[in-house]
Amino acid sequence: MVPERLDPAEVASLARRSLANPILRAVLETADGHVLVLNEARQILACNAELLEALDPPEAAAHVGERMGEAFGCVHAGEAPGGCGTGPACGRCGAALAIIEAQTGGLTAGGECSLNLRRAGRLAAVDLQVKVSTLSLGCHPLTVVVLQDISSRKRLDVLESIFLHDLSNALQSLIGWSERVADGAADPRRAGRRIVELCQRLRQEVQQQRILHDAEQGVLVPRLERVDLGALLEDLRDLFLLEGERQGPRLVVALACPGAALQTDRELLLRVLQNMVGNALEATPVEGTVQVRAEVDRTRASLSVVNPGLVPPEVAARIFHRGVSTKGPGRGLGTYGMKLLAEDYLGGRLDFSSTAEAGTRFVLHLPLG
- The string of pLDDT tens digits covering residues 210-223 is 898 899 989 999 99
- Per the prediction, the chain carries an average pLDDT of 89
3-class secondary structure, 37: strand
In this predicted structure, the answer to whether residue 331 has a pLDDT above a threshold of 60 is no
Amino acid in position 81: P
Is it true that domain 8-149 has CATH number 3.10.20.600?
A: no
DSSP letters, 245-274, are HSSS-EEEEEESSTT-EEEE-HHHHHHHHH
Question: Is the distance from CB of 125 to CB of 321 less than 8 angstroms?
Answer: yes
What's residue 344's pLDDT? 96
The CA distance from 231 to 315, in Å, is 34
Give burial (CB, 10 Å; 0-12/13-18/19+) of 121: exposed
Domain spanning 222-369: which CATH class is it, in words?
A: alpha beta
* pLDDT computed for residue 75 by the predictor: 94
What mean pLDDT is predicted for residues 121-134? 94
pLDDT at 330: 47
pLDDT score for 219:
93
CA distance 313 to 350: 18
CA pair distance 93, 75, nearest whole angstrom: 12
Q: For 121, left (φ over 0), alpha (ψ -120 to 50), or beta?
A: left
The answer to whether residue 186 scores a pLDDT higher than 60 is yes
Confidence of residue 161 (pLDDT cuts 50, 70, 90): low
pLDDT at 332 > cutoff 70: no
3-state secondary structure of 155: helix
User: What SS3 state is found at 87?
Assistant: coil
Q: Which residue has better confidence, 22 or 369? A: 22
Maximum C-alpha span of the chain:
83
For the chain, what percent of residues have pLDDT higher than 70? 93
CA distance 26 to 277: 53
Q: What is residue 114's predicted lDDT score, i.e. its pLDDT? A: 93
Q: Is the pLDDT of residue 195 over 90?
A: no
> What values do phi and psi take at 127, rounded to 5?
-105, 130
Of residues 324 and 260, which shows the higher confidence score?
260
